[in-house]
Amino acid sequence: MLLRSTIVHMWRFGEMEKIMVTGALGQIGSELVEKLRSIYGEDNVLATDIRKLEHTKGPFEVLDVTDGQRMHDLAKDFGADTMMHLAALLSATAERNPLLAWNLNMGGLMNALEVSRELNLQFFTPSSIGAFGPSTPKDDTPQDTLQRPTTMYGVNKVAGELLCDYYFNRFGVDTRGVRFPGLISYVTPPGGGTTDYAVEIFYEAIQQGKYTSYIQEGTYMDMMYMPDALQAIVDLMEADSSKLIHRNAFNITAMSFEPSQIAAEIKKHLPQFRMDYKVDPVRQAIADSWPNSINTDAAKNEWGFKAEYDLAKMTIDMLEKLKIKLQKKAIS
């Protein structure tokens, strides 16, 4: 089996040509599709989601990821060689709907893995820092460590990491994945995650000059600016398979900060900005169960992961891009 895996993977090295993306209208998906189309060509990336927007460019199909047969048919008809499975309920939303989260997150992943096995696709799905739990070492969290999450989202992510490992070891499916930290973007509005305060704060800073944080002061979490996250996906998928030891759950991050630090950074550019706190116990409990900062050595060593943006550089870019976006919205 290992021999077969190696043959498949050597053939796959740098071979992404026709890519199918699920959850293409979500926080990551909407920007990833655009980036992939700029690299591989607009007609070579099939975007799918459970709903369709009025204005979509490029190939798009409506897909409920719990419908395995339709997923298979779409991938086959498109001639896909790569599946990027992003459709999922995020952490805070999953806590409100744990049964739905299990059925959607795990059912969708099983379908995507099965389709990838049947059609011999290269496969990517993101894991998360949510895969860690309260008993995980908080600082410089190792690549391989105790994972006993206390949220449904975290349980889904640990199970997902193991499933992807299983499909690689058992069937030779070229599965790959990263553990994303909180992702910050000016393109897509926040989507129900615990780290979303770090996105909302920019909107509110520009529009209101103040922000009320639902995360307590002093709560450190790993974060990353979306351009770095998207580049990491492409770099991992294009990496030499023979060098990948961890495959499905690489720790990656660009920065770790707590609410008052991002507020202070914004104040350098918007001196009148003010922040206070009204802690949401549900999201705070989730944040408290996650690491303060994770170790990224495995990703750096195995496929050359690097991040371009730190907190200062990201803040400048976010404020600049978001001001333009909000001005355009106001005019229209």
The full DSSP string for 258-307 is: -HHHHHHHHHTT-TT-EEEE---HHHHHHHHTS-SEE--HHHHHHH----
Amino acid at site 113:
L
pLDDT, tens digit, 9 for 90 and up, residues 176-233: 999 999 999 999 877 778 899 999 999 999 999 999 999 999 999 999 999 999 999 9
Q: Tell me the per-residue pLDDT of 88-126, one tens digit each, with 9 for 90 and over.
A: 998 888 999 999 999 999 999 999 999 999 999 999 999
Q: Where are the alpha helices (DSSP H) in the chain?
A: 2-12, 29-40, 68-78, 91-96, 98-119, 152-171, 197-207, 226-238, 259-267, 281-288, 297-303, 311-331
Instruction: Indicate if the pLDDT at residue 296 is higher than 80.
Output: yes
| pTM exceeds 0.85 | yes
Give the range with max mean pLDDT: 49-63, 89-103, 300-314. Answer: 300-314
d(CA 213, CA 90): 19
Rounded average pLDDT over 59-68: 97
Residue 280 pLDDT:
95
Average confidence (pLDDT) over 1-26 = 66
Is 70 exceeded by the pLDDT of residue 165?
Answer: yes
In this prediction, residue 2 carries a pLDDT of: 42
pLDDT of residue 216: 97
The catalytic residues are: 153
Q: 1: pLDDT confidence band, cut at 50, 70 and 90?
A: very low
| Domains of the chain, CATH where assigned | 2-180+225-251 (3.40.50.720), 183-222+254-292+308-331 (3.90.25)
pLDDT bracket for residue 8 (50, 70, 90): very low
pLDDT at 14: 55
At 332 the pLDDT is 72
Q: Say which DSSP state 38 is in.
A: H
Closest to 289 measured CA to CA, from 143, 103, 92, 93:
92
Q: DSSP of 131-142, one letter per residue?
A: G--TTS-SEEE-
Question: 3-state DSSP call for residue 202?
Answer: helix
- Is the model's pLDDT at 3 over the cut of 90? no
